[in-house]
Amino acid sequence: MAMSCQPESRPHRLRTRDPYIDGRVAKFALVMPERGNSKPYSVRRSAIHGRGVFAVRKIRKGTSILEYKGKRTTWDEAMQRPDSNPQDPAHTFLFELDDGTVIDASRGGNAARWINHSCQPNCETYEDSKGRILIRARRGILPKEELTYDYHLTVDGRLSKRERARYACHCLASKCRGSLLRKPRSARKS
């Protein structure tokens, strides 16, 4: 089942599929700040889900924090990859650009692949003029705060209640909508 995500800042989509490839998910290296490193973030365990990306110093509103990197491919090629992990179908490392190109962060990706979803995110994604996906602070972010953006997942086709339950949100936000899935058009405000 194909799935896509549309962050609210731009009309591009994050197509989702679990990156479970040859049983190597647990072998991805953590990206930790090195002494003298200018990265304003580090990767560590998250209360939201698995790994997360956290600010190591104050980040001002509007700051571009990092680029979502990975191997560029087509959506058709990305779908030829091994099946997703049925234990976690909402987990993804695939991000679709406006032109249909897909960034597969399970191959050549960086810390951006560990940014978790929140219904009240402190970051947003946008595609720049060079076709790069950048993560930008929507508001000021304090040290030790987890970086998040709204995945706005959309799924091709209709889902049963059981399938919808797989996309339950655990973002801990006070206004959590309870799902990683994007609200139906009829429920969205204009």
Question: Which residues make beta-bridge pairs with 89?
Answer: none
| Residue of 135 and 14 predicted with greater confidence | 135
Residue 121 · residue 150 · CB < 8 Å: yes
159 assigned to some structural domain: yes
Q: Which of 26-35, 53-62, 172-181 has the highest mean pLDDT?
A: 53-62
89 assigned to some structural domain: yes
Into how many domains does the chain fold? Answer: 1
Domain that holds residue 82: 3-183
190 assigned to some structural domain: no
Tell me the CATH number at 14. 2.170.270.10
42 assigned to some structural domain: yes
Q: Where are the alpha helices (DSSP H) in the chain?
A: 75-79, 161-165
Chain center to CA of 144: 19
Is pLDDT above 50 for 24?
A: no
Q: Report, as an integer, the average pLDDT of 83-92.
A: 57
34 assigned to some structural domain: yes
Nearest Cα residue to 132 out of 79, 95, 77 = 95
**DSSP secondary-structure letter at 89?**
T
189 assigned to some structural domain: no
Q: Model-level pTM?
A: 0.74
69-83, 160-174, 175-189: range with lowest mean pLDDT: 175-189
User: Residue 43 contacts by C-beta under 8 Å, 6 or more apart in sequence?
Assistant: 30, 31, 32, 51, 52, 53, 54, 111, 114
Residue 121 · residue 136 · CB < 8 Å: no
103 assigned to some structural domain: yes
Is pLDDT above 80 for 114?
A: yes
The dihedral over CA atoms of 139, 142, 144, 146, expressed in degrees to the nearest 10, equals -10
188 assigned to some structural domain: no
CB atoms within 10 A of CB 50: 11
29 CB-contact burial (10 Å; exposed 0-12 / middle 13-18 / buried 19+): exposed
**DSSP secondary-structure letter at 144?**
T
Per-residue pLDDT tens over the stretch 129-146: 998 999 999 999 999 999
